[in-house]
Amino acid sequence: MTQAEPNRAVRAADGASGRAPYVPALDGLRGVAILGVLLFHTDRLPGGFLGVDLFFALSGYLITDLLLREVAASGSVSLAAFWGRRIRRLFPALAAMLASVAVLVWALGPPDTVRTMLSDGPWVQVNLVNWHLLAESAGYWDRFGAERVFEHLWSIAVEEQFYLVWPLVLLAAARSARRPGRRGHPERPVDRRIAVASVAVSAASLVLMVLLVGADGTSRVYMGTDTRAFSLLLGAAAATRPARALLAAAVGRWAGAAAAATAAAIAVIWLLADGADTRWLFTGGLFAHSLASALLIGLCVRAPRTRLSRALSWRPLRWLGLVSYSLYLWHWPVIVLLSPERTGLEGWAWTAVVAAAAVALAALSKYLVEDPIRFRARWARGRSGAWAFAGAMVGLAVLWVVLPAPAPPAVDIAKLE
């Protein structure tokens, strides 16, 4: 999953002269997150779905750090440059996966899966699939009925909505900070404003989750952008100077011990959580996990040479983190298409097969689609890039229309009498 600007790229952000140091442990954390999600979706780790929250916190941290550095360097935020980077980073791999999976599912999938795919596809394309699934009462935790091959992309939609709105908040804060303070008092720094806004909205998001979770299920609060905002914004708060100063004062020389204790607490939550059956997650547990994730990210950045940071910097884990976006995109369609019923496998053997296939597809996506377009394709920038993006969007929209949907299942009227 997504998604955020890899921290290698953050240090070379367009328009920002202040460069963030590369922190290998953050790529390792991304690798841990995608492993958790993969093991959850193959029924190996019931609490692995919390890897999504770790992704959210990482995205909030890295994007906010990038934007704050741009504000510090230029006094503003270039929305066109930011959204252009986001499109080049996320859209090519997503479009390639959507088109490939659509054709495969249409050719090989059962009729129910084809119908839901054609229904969900346009909403994935416009980054609103989480609200579409909720409108259709598609329960995230429901393992029965027709498989939805794009259901996992609800989290990508949440992140994309964050990428659309959050830069506007940073831009507003930057412009406000340039105004003279009332009665001669200087304006508060942008970092402080963003820290206060992040914490305030996170608290409101938590309250909303607690109020909306009910006996009819937890999918609404789990997939809703409003009730999941704290997962992103706590990471955003950790990127601000006030939060870093507070963390430095709190841990002092004990950053390594604090990081190990925080990682242990996160591991315990992963082991205890079990989806919708863990009600405490939705009355503060998810918030606590997101807060711990943001704290761990901040500690890894502050103390990159601790034992935990070195463990997270293990090369295979970092590589897994670097392909995590495409791996997140591909892992669930692979699970659906290579189901135990199709492969005849089960248990760890099936997990190994789908993991190997998903990792191979993710590597192909990264090295043949993501990296060439993001780093080397001049046509993907500026006006030509905008035209290419528009053309691809039109092409995907046409795809959902031209692929014929299977006929609805016949109803035996005699059985209804």
Q: Any residues with CB less than 8 A from the CB of 140 and at least 6 apart, and which? A: 133, 151, 154, 218, 219, 222, 223, 276
| Segments making up each domain of the chain, as ranges | 7-178+186-403
Predicted confidence band of residue 216 (pLDDT cuts 50, 70, 90) = low
Q: Is the pLDDT assigned to residue 409 strictly greater than 90?
A: no
Residue type, 87: I
pTM: 0.91
* 245-284 tens-digit pLDDT: 999 999 888 999 999 999 999 999 999 998 777 889 999 9
Measured over the CA atoms of residue 100, residue 105, residue 106 and residue 107, the dihedral's sign is positive
**Assigned token pair, 159:** 């992140």
pLDDT of residue 144: 38
Lowest mean pLDDT of 41-45, 118-122, 144-148, 395-399, name the range.
144-148
**Assigned token pair, 148:** 């939805």
pLDDT of residue 1: 60
3 state SS of 377: coil
Torsion of CA 159, 155, 7, 19, to 10 degrees: 10
User: Secondary structure of 44-108 in the HEC alphabet?
Assistant: CCCCHHHHHHHHHHHHHHHHHHHHHHHHHHHCCCCHHHHHHHHHHHHHHHHHHHHHHHHHHHHHH
Measured over the CA atoms of residue 138, residue 140, residue 145 and residue 149, the dihedral's sign is positive
pLDDT of residue 410: 60
* 346-356 tens-digit pLDDT: 999 999 999 99
Q: Is the pLDDT assigned to residue 142 strictly greater than 50?
A: yes
Q: Any residues with CB less than 8 A from the CB of 268 and at least 6 apart, and which? A: none
Q: Is the pLDDT assigned to residue 100 strictly greater than 60?
A: yes
Residues linked to residue 217 through DSSP beta bridges, in sequence order:
214
**Assigned token pair, 92:** 């090519």
* 362-394 tens-digit pLDDT: 999 999 999 999 999 999 999 999 999 999 999
* 299-348 tens-digit pLDDT: 999 999 999 999 999 999 999 999 999 999 999 999 999 999 999 999 99
Query: 229 near 202, Cβ under 8 Å?
Result: yes
State the average pLDDT for the chain: 89
